[in-house]
Amino acid sequence: MEQALRVLIVDDDEVDRISVQRAFKQTDLQISFTEAKDYAEAIETLGNQTFDCIFVDYQLPDRDGLALVQAIQQLEIKSPIVVLTGQGDEQIAVQLMKSGATDYLSKSQISPETLPQVLRNAIRIYEAVTAATLANQRLLENHALLVRKNQELRRLERQQQDFIAHLTHDLKTPIVAADLMLKLFHKEAFCPLSSDMHTAVTAMIRSNQNLLDIVNTLLQVHCYESGAKELTFMICDLWEIAQEVIAELKPLADEKGIGLKLSAIEQELELIDRLKIMGDCLELRRMLTNLIGNSIKFTDMGAVELHIGLAPASSSEDNNADACVIVQVKDSGIGMSQTEQETLFQRFRKGNHRQSGSGLGLHLVHRIVTVHQGTILVNSEPEQGSVFTIRLPAYTKDAQST
């Protein structure tokens, strides 16, 4: 059997209360009625019972219906309210609806046809409003939860950044000290060394330097990602920087028995003196060192070639318009698949090759290129070598003046 709807009728006129009940009894609705004759009795009744709907007469002897509607809202009583009145004042209706009434009906319109419809509509509207309120509350709770989680993530990120900063600093100090000590051993500052000992110390110096490079790279990546990296922009001669990097890395290539050479892109031989960039010279040097060093690491036969040239970035007939410096590092190494290329510049990305390192070097190269408003692309196939192409905005006097 369907559970009866609980309805409270608040009206000081017994005839009107009976009229409402009679209209409902002529319908198929199952309703349990409770009566209250004035404001005070209605408040007392609402404190002891809950109702599916409340019908309130606007004209009550002690307080009017508007006051009762407002009191019901203040008490947070969750029931739809229909106000009944003997007069059709639109201004009163607006006030009632603003105060929390669900509907408004003139007593002259009470009938077995209108009352059930008003009751159903009131309950339906109330349920919709309640559902919307609960949904909004859940959204607010979820938003608050997301805010807290976001704050927690930022806190953890700050802790991670502090950890990396302290870790790199703590690691760097003993590595530098060990490097100095090993070099003194190599120079026989303490005692003569046999040939085998020289070889062993040389290997230790190289391993120690590799470890120092990793720590320095980690520190630089941390500086970029934490926003603590300070750059000093000036006019940088990329050709001059490239010559220094090649000279520095040549012994490493010679040790592997591979070639390492620098050349200008053929059609740009006469433009070598114009291969200048507005940037941080130390970072550009780090970019070339990491990129060429990476190619040397993964090349066992053949050569690593660095090509630098000047080309317009647009189709303009003026060769100085939008000019950019092109840097290409080409190797005959192991190459890589398309899948590997898609994640190549991600932080801590590690390849499957046995010589794969920390996965930070190329990520740092990408960060340096990006901060210099450039682009970097790679073209590679397994066992066919790789070509890295960097485009950086060339320095021009016109660009500087603007």
| pLDDT tens string 98-122 | 888 988 888 888 888 888 888 888 8
Span of 159-163, 281-285, 290-294 with lowest mean pLDDT = 159-163
Positions of E strands within 313-357 = 323-331
Q: What is the mean pLDDT of the chain?
A: 83
Residue 272: name the closest of 217, 325, 207, 206 by CA: 325
Return the CATH number of 139-230, one of 1.10.287, 1.10.10, 1.20.58, 3.10.450: 1.10.287
How far apart CA 83 and CA 64 sit, in angstroms, is 11
Write down the domain spans for the chain: 5-112, 139-230, 232-401
**Which CATH number is 5-112 given?**
3.40.50.2300
Question: Is pLDDT at 214 greater than 80 in this prediction?
Answer: no
**pLDDT range class, residue 53, cuts 50, 70, 90:** very high
Q: What is the pLDDT of residues 10-20, one digit of tens each?
A: 999 999 999 99
Q: What topology does CATH give the domain 232-401?
A: Heat Shock Protein 90 (3.30.565)
> To the nearest 10°, the Cα dihedral for 383, 368, 256, 338?
-10
**Of residues 215 and 138, more confidently modeled:** 138
How far apart CA 167 and CA 154 sit, in angstroms, is 19
Give the max Cα distance, the chain: 122
pLDDT at 354: 47
Helix (H, G, I), strand (E, B) or coil at 194: coil
How far apart CA 305 and CA 235 sit, in angstroms, is 25
Helix (H, G, I), strand (E, B) or coil at 231: coil
Question: Is pLDDT at 241 greater than 90 in this prediction?
Answer: yes
Chain centre to alpha carbon of residue 118: 50
State mean pLDDT over 367-371.
Answer: 92
Provide the pairing of β-strand 386-393 with 375-380. antiparallel
The identity of residue 131, as a single letter, is A
With a CB cutoff of 8 Å and minimum separation 6, the contacts of 29 are: 5, 116, 119
